[in-house]
Amino acid sequence: MVLLDISATGEENVIEYDETGQMNDLAYRRRQLKELQENVVDLEDISGGISITDLTLNDFRMDLSEYMKNNLAGLEQAPCAIYALKTINQQFSEKELEPGVIFCLKNISAKIIQKTAYSLEPHYLVYVAKTGEIKLSFMQAKKILDILKKECIRQKFADQAAIDRFNQETHDAKDMSIYRASLETAIYSIIGKEEEKGVESLFSRGGTVLSKEMFKGMEDFEVVCYLVLI
């Protein structure tokens, strides 16, 4: 549950404000409208940020607001890189869900000025399959949040079966190489997409500012939390 709540923050965060004391939602939607007015928009490129999709994130905001009434202190004190283990629910088909890990990452680099239609910045959700494939990219955050909600919102106790399998595979968490590799895959999928969007924005007024201080790698991100699907 905590993973779901943390993942639903960012520019959609109900508790964070910008330096002027204003929430970021209106500025975000102005950018969306301006983009729709001035450009021929490919829905595939903004599938995680278009306003119609974004409106559906209100469900997650409501869940977060309700959860915070009794658990705000726990959220504020939760350490970074916490993780949970979950056996995949049989209601999902293999095409929808497969063993892997869902990361919630935070961009901690101030080296890039972004003006994008991505609503969860500076947070990124990425679902990496155990095979190393990007199952769902950060631009598909709504789908990832749906998975997290279905898998976790009613999970009040530790999944012992998942814990046993995880400990067996990682030798009691002593060998996390597969998850380090998955983390690297997730981060470089973000960097690649952002650089692609940055290059495209060079041809539009007021777009992303590219510089020599672009994302340099894994050090530009911190792991907020992650869910291992077994």
Q: Quick: pLDDT tens for 106-143.
A: 988 755 445 556 778 889 999 999 999 999 999 999 99
What one-character-per-residue DSSP string does the chain give?
A: -HHHHHHT-STT-SS---TTS--SHHHHHHHHHHHHHHS---TTTTTTTSHHHHHTTHHHHHHHHHHHHHHHHHHHHPPTTEEEEEPPPTTS-TTT--SEEEEEEEE---S-B---S-TTTTEEEEEEETTS-EEE-GGGHHHHHHHHHHHHTT--S--HHHHHHHHHHHTTTT--HHHHHHHHHHHHHHHHHHHHHHHHHTTSTT--B--TTS--SGGGEEEEEEEEE-
31 has pLDDT over 60: yes
What number is the average pLDDT over the span 201-228?
65
50-59, 91-100, 141-150: range with highest mean pLDDT:
141-150
The residue among 68 and 134 whose pLDDT is bigger is 134
pTM listed for this prediction: 0.68
What number is the average pLDDT over the span 42-46?
50
**Rounded to 5 degrees, what are φ and ψ at 129?**
-70, 160
The mean pLDDT of the chain is: 75
